[in-house]
Amino acid sequence: MKQISFKLEIFEGPLDLLLHLINKNKLSLYDIPIFEITEQYIDYLAEMEHFDIEVSSEFLVIAAHLLYIKSKMLLPKYDEDAADEDDPQVELAQRLIEYKRFKQASLFFREREFAGGLTFYKMQEYIQPMLIDESLSQVELSHLYGAISEVAERIKYRRPISNSRFKAVAGKEVVSVFSRVKAILSKLKRFNRVCFSDIFKGMKTKSEAVASFLAVLELIKLNRIKIMKKDGKSELRYVKGKC
Amino acid sequence: MEIHKIEGIIEAVLFAAGDAISVDKLSDITKIDKPTLQSIITRLADKYDTEKRGIKIIKIGDKYQMATKDEFSEYIQKIVPPQKRNPLSNATLEVLAIVAYKQPVTRSTIEKIRGVNSDNSVTRLVEIGLIEETGKLNAPGRPALFCTTDDFLRSFAIESISSLPPIDGFIIDDDGQTTLGSGED
C-alpha cells in the first residue's frame, strides 16, 4: 500500500483548490496551463477519496469544466468560429480572478473583524416621555370657586317651570280607537242614524278626533256601518242585518 | 438659528435617541438642509475629539450615533462585561465580503462566485446580525436579497459601504499573487 506522506489541505471549494494549485506552481491566472492543472486537480480529487473525504458535486462540476476546456483545446480551431464563441479558458480565468478578489477582500474584513469592539453604543432604549400639562394648566382654585358661584347664582333666580310647559309632553291623553268604536255604535243604537259631523261634537283634543275618524273607517271596513248622503250631509247608518 | 443652538439640538437628540439617527431625520428636526447639517455634525464631532471628551459621534451609513471612544474601553468593560465571539470561518468571511461588495445579492450569486454552496454561511451571518434579508429579487422563485446591516458597519468600524476600498483595488499581479491586503495563507 502506498505510503501517504503529505498533509491534505482543506479548501473552501473547487475555485479555492484551483487557486491553490495555480499558486503552488507559481503560475499566472491569466495564462493557466490547463493540461497540468487539470491533471493535478483530478489527482487531488482522487486523494480526497483516498482519505475518505466526500468529494462534493461542486468539485466535480469544475473537474468536468476543466476536461471540457482541455478537450476543446485538443480539437482543431477554425478561426471564423472562434471569434464568436466565448473562450471557456478566459471565462474560467475571470471567475478565478473575481473569486480571488473576494477572497482577498475577506482578509481585509478579517483584519477588522473585531475593530468595532472597543466602541460602545447605546441601542434605542425606553425614553421617559415628556409630561405635558394639558389645557387645565392655567386653572387655579379661585377660578373653580368663581365658576361654581356663577352657576349657583343662575339657579337661584330661575322660576319653577309652569305645568303648561309640560302639557305637550306629559299632558297627552291616549284615546283608543276601540273606545270610539264603542261610542259610535252606542250612538247609532240610540238614534239609528247619526250625522257624520255630530261624531266630532264637543271634542277637546286632536287625538280624540283622530281616534273617532279611525273608528269610522274601521267600522266601514268591517262592513258594520255605511255612509249615506242626505240633504248634502253625510250620515252614518247601520248596515242592514248587522245590528 | 445660531450654530451653537443647532449643535446643541443635535447633541440632545443623539443623546436621547441612543440609537443611530438618520441625517434626514435630523434635517427634519432642525429644519436645516442636509449638507449644512452634515458639516455642523462634523464640526461637533471634531469638537468632541479636540476637547478630549469620553464620547464621539460616529457615522454609520447615512446615520449618526453617539458612542464611547475606543481609548476608554478598558474602563467601560468594568461595567459592561465583554461579549465573546469566535472568529468567523474563512468561508463565512468570504460570503460577508461578497455581500458587502455586491449587495443586494442573492444566495445563488454568492454560490456562483464561490463555486460552492454557501447557505450555511449566509444563515450564520443573518443569525449574528451582520447581514439581513432586505427584499426579494423580481425573478422566478423570487429569491431573497441580502444586504449588510448597521451592526456590520459598527462591528467592523466601517463608516459606510461606499467607504470600503474598491474591490478592483485588491490587485492580482502577473504571477497571480499578492494584493492590497497583507498576503495570504
pLDDT (tens digit, 9 = 90+) per residue, B41-87?
Answer: 999 999 998 888 899 999 988 899 999 998 888 888 888 887 778 88
The reported pLDDT for the residue numbered B185 is 37
Half-sphere exposure of A125 (CA within 13 A, CB side): 8
Is B94 within 8 Å of A103 when comparing Cβ atoms? yes
Could you tell me if A14 lies within 8 Å of chain B, comparing CB atoms? yes
Shortest CB distance from A120 goes to which of B76, B113, B156?
Answer: B76
Contacts of A114 in chain B (CB under 8 A): 155
Shortest CB distance from A116 goes to which of B82, B155, B179?
Answer: B155
Q: Give the CA-trace dihedral at A174, A175, A179, A183, to 10 degrees.
A: 150
CA-nearest residue of chain A to B92? A106
The reported pLDDT for the residue numbered B22 is 93
Q: Is the pLDDT of residue B146 over 80?
A: yes
Average pLDDT over residues B135-155: 91
CA-nearest residue of chain A to B15? A122
The reported pLDDT for the residue numbered A169 is 67
CATH of domain B90-180: 1.10.10.10
B123 CA: distance to closest CA in chain A (Å) = 17
Could you tell me if A9 lies within 8 Å of chain B, comparing CB atoms? no
Q: What is the pLDDT of residues A113-149, one digit of tens each?
A: 888 888 888 777 677 777 776 676 677 788 888 888 8
Question: Going by C-beta distance under 8 Å and a sequence separation of 6 or more, which residues neighbour residue B48?
Answer: B55, B56, B57
Is A123 within 8 Å of B18 when comparing Cβ atoms? yes
Is B16 within 8 Å of A26 when comparing Cβ atoms? no
The reported pLDDT for the residue numbered A141 is 83
Tell how many helices (H) and how many strands (E) occur in chain B: 8, 5
Contacts of B48 in chain A (CB under 8 A): none
Preferred mutation among B156, B174, B185 to probe A, highest tally of A CBs within 10 A: B156
The reported pLDDT for the residue numbered A124 is 72
Confidence tier at B98 by pLDDT (50, 70, 90): very high
Average pLDDT over residues B82-101: 90
Q: Give the CA-trace dihedral at A126, A131, A132, A136, to 10 degrees.
A: 150
Is residue B93 a contact partner of residue B111, using CB atoms and an 8 Å limit?
Answer: no
- The ipTM is 0.76
d(CA A174, CA A186): 21
The reported pLDDT for the residue numbered B180 is 44
Could you tell me if A74 lies within 8 Å of chain B, comparing CB atoms? no
Is residue B67 a contact partner of residue B56, using CB atoms and an 8 Å limit?
Answer: yes
Query: Quick check: helix, strand or coil at residue B99?
Result: helix
Fold match flag (B3-76 vs B90-180):
yes
Confidence tier at B184 by pLDDT (50, 70, 90): very low
How much is the mean pLDDT over chain B?
87
Could you tell me if B12 lies within 8 Å of chain A, comparing CB atoms? no
Beta-sheet pairing, B63-68 with B21-22 = antiparallel
The reported pLDDT for the residue numbered A171 is 63
Q: Give the three cell numbers for residue B184.
A: 495570504
d(CA B62, CA A4): 56
CA-nearest residue of chain B to A112? B156
The reported pLDDT for the residue numbered B43 is 92
Could you tell me if A143 lies within 8 Å of chain B, comparing CB atoms? no
The reported pLDDT for the residue numbered A82 is 54
Q: What is the pLDDT of residues A122-131, one digit of tens each?
A: 777 677 777 7
Contacts of B58 in chain A (CB under 8 A): 119
Domain boundaries, given as residue ranges, for chain B: 3-76, 90-180
Window A:104-123, CB contacts with B under 8 Å: 104-123
The reported pLDDT for the residue numbered A81 is 57
The reported pLDDT for the residue numbered B100 is 95
Contacts of A61 in chain B (CB under 8 A): 115
Is B116 within 8 Å of A14 when comparing Cβ atoms? yes
The reported pLDDT for the residue numbered B123 is 94
Residue segments in chain A with a per-residue pLDDT below the cut of 50: 1-5, 242-243
**What CATH fold (topology level) applies to the domain B3-76?**
Arc Repressor Mutant, subunit A (1.10.10)
Is B93 within 8 Å of A119 when comparing Cβ atoms? no
Q: Is the pLDDT of residue B175 over 50?
A: no
